A and B are shown apart, each in its own frame.
Chain A
């Protein structure tokens, strides 16, 4: 059984297809693993044991009938608790949705089911995806499998921790300012934020609609590509979904190569605030790419310095409106409805009790930024910065094929360290936010351990919009070279739980 949980998704699917192992055996192995370690890790908010086994049995039955199985059939997956799942609780890490059973599946959920992926359960996250540590979950923090006293990143810490703890070979995350990539970086896993509009947002509870993007999380670049292909593609239920073929990500992941590519190093992503060991591993990655035949170019994107400020106006503004619907009228928590209070009072009491401090902070920030007389100065200016950042990317991609940077300035910090210092917390997304503002694609993959703390460091690769395949081409080449150098995947160095 121990072997089954260490397999990659591609290997697992191949073994199931070949009849070497059944989907039920694979699922049971992962459920046993969750049982064994999740009390410590707390990656899951809800485990759907029966549902997962039923899905697995259906896959096995299909194989027995001789039906052709898809490339991920029977592979277990951990789904971030931000995607609606019909009949299964969806909390978004918030008390305000405690007990809510959605009446419908998100498009991503539907596509996973259609691909015969086995959904093990729903993973922990910062409330409404607001945070970089998963400490903002109303249901308690998640531990980083490399060191359970440290954060697994956020908001998708549950998904990345589930991968690193071998509770699932695949996971789904969402990335509004780095919530897929930063958790991947600090847990030594792979995470991809696809081009905005590549993966349907239908059924993905909104934080900041113009920035939110669902994407694949995995332990290998190829697994991420297989999952990317399964969930991406046009959806008529999402008006912002791209009506174009999905870039050939799997093909790219199978043919990693950087020879002759021009790789840009973003000058602005270094200096003060960047941990020495993070920069050391990043610089080694740059050298590695050069050795593999890439041409390294230094690129300046001056407007990136404004990205964090713009982000913290746009995201709170949109969230202040998106979260207005949580008013205790139709679903979720309702507090104070004892027949003596007005609807307004019940709404106020429910929001007071149901939203955590970070959510309240951002709703207030956004309400202020959008208010009459301040709109132009705040939201309006932030949108202009957004345009400048997009232009910086456009100029950069005239010179290079991809950009690279550290994914996040530091390795995993201790739980509690930044909990009372929002500004310090926000800095964790310094390198990831520009991509969300511009809408293009980016990946984080492991590039080694920081010597000073022995914790994973992430390398970020950024590609132009709709060139997601480049991430996989470069990522696969880097992954292969590093794995060869280390003699094994980086995760093997993590302590056993």
Chain B
């Protein structure tokens, strides 16, 4: 493999103009597969969620999942696409052991949704419109595990294991038109587009779109053309770029690589490339000796899909607020900066904060807990905020206890820790751990008296006017009450009892 010296990103962009095409596959969250009744749940034993149809047994036939079609139409509508009045599935013929029928049931020249756009917001608030070519329905393949090789790739493996649980899970493939005019912001646009699309898919409720779980996968096609030239250059296709950061890095790397090849008088080969998380580079995939001919033809085992206009309009009416619009609304309501909003979004905290405010907390408190203590815990545990064992209602309850003075910050953190540890809801944890701020004046007064008694020297100093020494007595009282007293109130009481003005 020849290593190409990369051209610096800035230099690349002074000479060339990048053009991108993004292809995103989304696994729908339907209960059953696209063409049979098998479950789509993840994590089951290999090949336990299969039937004659998704195993491609002789004689088996597909039946279209109506929820899959509905999800496709919703996605199309949310992407401002036209919805086909009549469209067909097509067979994409090619051989691969993890594809049971050796054809993929997909759509070819009659996609269910076409000609749309998605407005994405860049970090500085600028809106960039990404044109959508099409969104079509298809099925996922099974999964091959190559055993015995060093890399997990098929090369060098001694054998392969096949799991068909994923075979037939519904996919929507969303293809952009060539994205032009983004210039140096192309990688940022790519990332923002995939992020926005992910939010949109989640808001529609058609998929959890978790990239780390493979529920959303992105291919980055990129080419460069000399500035001022109309004609597109030859593109590379970087496959399976599966995180937002990787999308940005892959685009950036390819811009630099293409520029290096072109600047040194070379030509770009149209090829698929693999992306490497470790260093953000791409390397060529298997070179195909001849162009793949998929021999598409209309799937004769299925009848055409003809969504009625009434139904489409009904679905359009039911669409949720677009994530970008909602985000901007919330940002204003909460009074936070673009940057903070972006952090909240990246942390996956928007919906949690909204739910917490809906449960009665004020937005500042909700943000404080989710983006502070809870974000720290999620980070430590290597999990998502949403996966933490605490609900927005419970966070709201903690916030309420703080607001009414029953908990201070330190006690609130301990309460949260107890909830996360499975000790019960906040009130139970407070009760069990005895975390409530000691506000009983009698008990507190007794603790103060004891502190004065056992620290007579310090008490004298205070009486003598050294008010700053009161801190030591406050500390003693706090220690005696295991931190459950309100420190400010303790100080007041001490000064009062010693007859000193605070």
Contact = CB atoms under 8 A, between A and B. Distances in A.
Contact of A202 (B56, B59, B64, B297): B59
A293 B146 CA distance: 73
A367 B55 CA distance: 23
A203 B63 CA distance: 13
Contacts of B102: 324-325, 327
A201 B63 CA distance: 12
Give chain A's interface secondary structure class.
Answer: loop
Contacts of A371: 293, 295
A330 B100 CA distance: 8
A139 B101 CA distance: 25
A321 B52 contact: no
B162 interface: yes
Nearest to B47: A330
B97 A343 contact: yes
A102 B57 contact: yes
A238 B293 contact: no
Given A103-B52, A104-B52, A324-B101, A370 B93 contact: yes
Contact of B63 (A83, A237, A370, A375): A237
A83 B101 contact: no
Give chain B's interface secondary structure class.
Answer: loop
Contacts of A206: 58-59, 301
Nearest to B89: A239
B302 A106 contact: no
Nearest to A328: B97
A64 to B, nearest CB: 35
B444 to A, nearest CB: 73
Contacts, number: 102
A180 B60 CA distance: 22
B295 A367 contact: yes
B86 interface: no
B436 interface: no
Given A321-B93, A343-B97, A84 B300 contact: no
Interface in B89-110: 91, 93, 95, 97, 100-103
B342 interface: no
Contact of A370 (B95, B101, B297): B297
Interface string B50-68: 0010011111111110000
Interface string A77-115: 000000110000010100001001011101000000000
A318 interface: yes
B500 interface: no
A205 interface: yes
A236 interface: yes
Interface in A319-333: 320-321, 324-327, 329-331
B103 A83 contact: no
Contact of B300 (A203, A209, A375): A209
A239 B97 contact: no
Given A202-B59, A237-B63, A370-B297, A325 B101 contact: yes
B59 A84 contact: yes
Interface in A326-383: 326-327, 329-331, 343-344, 347, 367, 370-372, 375, 379
B303 interface: yes
B363 interface: no
Interface of A: 83-84, 90, 92, 97, 100, 102-104, 106, 201-206, 208-210, 236-240, 317-318, 320-321, 324-327, 329-331, 343-344, 347, 367, 370-372, 375, 379
List the 6 closest A-B pairs by CB distance, nearest first.
A324-B102, A370-B295, A209-B300, A210-B300, A203-B59, A205-B58
21 contacts: A84-B57, A92-B58, A97-B58, A201-B61, A202-B60, A203-B60, A239-B303, A240-B300, A321-B295, A324-B93, A324-B101, A326-B58, A330-B57, A343-B97, A343-B160, A347-B95, A370-B296, A370-B297, A371-B295, A375-B295, A379-B297
Given A92-B58, A201-B61, A204-B59, 15 more contacts: A90-B59, A102-B52, A102-B58, A104-B60, A202-B59, A239-B302, A321-B91, A321-B297, A324-B93, A325-B58, A327-B95, A331-B57, A343-B97, A344-B95, A370-B295
